[in-house]
Amino acid sequence: MAINVVMPKLGMAMKEGTVSVWNKKVGDPVQKGELIASINSEKIEMEIESPGEGILLEIAVEEGKGVPPGTPIAYIGQPDEKVVSGAQEEAAASIVAEPEVPAPASPQVKENPSHVTISGEKVKISPVARKMAAEANLDIQTLAGTGPGGRITKEDVQKALENVSQQSRPEPPARKENETNTKADQASRPLTGMRKVIAERMHSSLQNSAQLTIYMKADITELKTLQAQSAASVKRRFGEKLTLTDFIARATILALQVHPFMNSALIDYSIHERNNVHLGMAVALEKGLVVPVINDAEKLSLSQLSASIRELAKKARENQLGSEEMTGSTFTITNLGAYGVEHFTPILNPPEAGILGVGAAEDQPVYRGDNLERRSILPISLTFDHQLVDGAPAALFLKEIKGYLEEPFSMLV
């Protein structure tokens, strides 16, 4: 009996999964545990292993199509094995349920028939396909059935509708002789999976909040000195060096405890104040962006915070994050400094009150008193929801982060 490959459930909240790419085609041999496809749901993407050994008999869900968890997406079995898929089961059930009857001489149509008799000729068609054809005013006599015994299935109707749609499109105007085509060839693909979720969330964020961004510059010269001086000792004790991102995260957590209004959320016109800091750290992936969450970040030491950031970023890049590790954040940090970006305007991660943007640090000449010195300057920005927070308190919060970064020892006591 053929083995079903089903769409897995990636987290409790998953409602639909999408097949990103098939690594095998129908007829290819597969080994148990071999990677045969990639699937995604919301912000999670993973590869599917073959549950058994044999031949890929049928691909039930094409690339780019979304289906609920538990839905068969492919079948694996022996070369001569037959697969009874959803469409075939429907047709077979129709055959059993409604035996053929002699055709009368005059046109007759029964209610919900699986066999429609027109002009003395019997047309085999499933109830679903008949309904689809009737709604589209499609002449079923013109359809070719691919089901058992030539029965017309819903897939046959869908294909016919697609052909009609293509034929009804107007022909593009003929190009004049010697006319140059200035437009490049274009390709389109559906917005699915992670990209679709990001698009929906960003659009919703801008529609449902009053976003304002303010900017400051932090002098992190002393911070970089501290980072360099402690590197060998920290690596010897904890196995890894502290990064600039670690210090920025620590400064943000401390500032949120001083200014808790930035750790709140606006939900259904009610302000929800959070006692704990669940820090979201945006991680860029090849196909999108994910925001792993460090829960109860205020309880972690700097070294523990650093380890958590590294671990979650690694899991994100390896598509190993669970849905529970990407929900519940109360404030987010996004860092584009590694890409050379100086200033940018982040978009809120709803329903959070704020998001910190971090740019690229640069050495600049800075007057300190009467002396011109070479200093390392870090641009930072704060996007906040003006429905929750006004400009002045938001500026005080960003200034608090700046203060910790410019006096790094205050983060260690």
Token couple for 194: 């992670």
- Find the range with the poorest average confidence among 83-87, 162-166, 341-345: 83-87
Q: Tell me, what's the pLDDT at 39? A: 83
Grade residue 165 by pLDDT with cuts at 50, 70 and 90. Answer: low
Contact criterion met (CB below 8 Å) for 274 and 264 = yes
Of residues 132 and 291, more confidently modeled: 291
Q: Average pLDDT of 328-336?
A: 96
Angstrom distance (rounded) from CA 257 to CA 300: 13
Q: What is the 3-state secondary structure (H, E, C) of the chain?
A: CCEEEECCCCCCCCCCEEEEEECCCCCCEECCCCEEEEEEECCEEEEEECCCCEEEEEECCCCCCEECCCCEEEEEECCCCCCCCHHHHHHHHHHHHCCCCCCCCCCECCCCCCEEEECCEEEEECHHHHHHHHHCCCCHHHCCCCCHHHCECHHHHHHHHHHHHHHHCCCCCCCCCCCCCCCCCCCCCCCCHHHHHHHHHHHHHHHCCCEEEEEEEEECHHHHHHHHHHHHHHHHHHCCCCCHHHHHHHHHHHHHHHCHHHHEEEECCEEEECCCCCEEECEEECCEEECCEECCHHHCCHHHHHHHHHHHHHHHHCCCCCHHHCCCCCEEEEECHHHCCCCCCCCCCCCECEEEEECCCEEEEEEECCEEEEEEEEEEEEEEECCCCCHHHHHHHHHHHHHHHHCHHHHCC
Using CA atoms, how far apart are residues 343 and 120, in angstroms rounded to an integer? 75
SS3 letters for 62-109? CCCCEECCCCEEEEEECCCCCCCCHHHHHHHHHHHHCCCCCCCCCCEC
Weakest-pLDDT range from 185-189, 270-274, 366-370: 185-189
Amino acid at the residue 137: N
Predicted confidence band at 85 (pLDDT cuts at 50, 70, 90)?
Answer: low
Residue 104 has pLDDT above 60, yes or no: no
Rounded Cα distance, 82 and 95, in Å: 18
- From the list 387, 330, 399, the residue with the least C-alpha distance to 211 is 387
Domain coordinates in residue numbering, the chain? 3-77, 89-161, 194-411
Active site residue 363: no
Place of tokens 């303010």: 214
Average pLDDT score over the chain: 83
Does the pLDDT of residue 103 top 60, yes or no? no
Correct CATH for 3-77 of 3.30.230.10, 2.60.40.1180, 2.40.50.100, 3.20.10.10: 2.40.50.100
- 77-81, 86-90, 264-268, 335-339: range with lowest mean pLDDT: 86-90
For 111-137, what is each residue's pLDDT tens digit? 444 445 444 456 778 766 776 787 777
Triad 227, 233, 235: Cα angle to 5°: 85
Which entry of 28, 296, 363, 390 is annotated as an active-site residue? 390
> Which pLDDT band holds residue 396 (cuts at 50, 70, 90)?
very high
Q: How confident is the model at residue 181 (pLDDT cuts 50, 70, 90)?
A: low
Q: What is the homologous superfamily of the domain 89-161 according to CATH? A: E3-binding domain (4.10.320.10)
pTM score above 0.75 = no
Per the listing, tokens 């030539």 go with 150
Distance CA 156, CA 133 (A): 10
Q: Which two tokens stand for residue 264?
A: 């709140």
Most confidently predicted of 88-92, 98-102, 345-349: 345-349
Gap between the terminal Cα atoms of the chain = 66
Whole-angstrom distance, CA of residue 411 vs CA of residue 59: 56
- The band of 370, judged by pLDDT with boundaries at 50, 70 and 90, is very high
Would you tell me which CATH number, out of the four given (3.50.50.60, 3.90.1300.10, 3.30.70.270, 3.30.559.10), belongs to the domain 194-411?
3.30.559.10
pLDDT reading at 225 higher than 90:
yes
Is 343 part of the annotated catalytic residue set? no
The dihedrals phi and psi of 233, each to the nearest 5 degrees, come to -65, -45
Q: What percent of the chain has pLDDT over 90?
A: 46
Question: At a CB cut-off of 8 Å and minimum separation 6, what does 69 contact?
Answer: 6, 7, 8, 9, 10, 14, 15, 16, 17
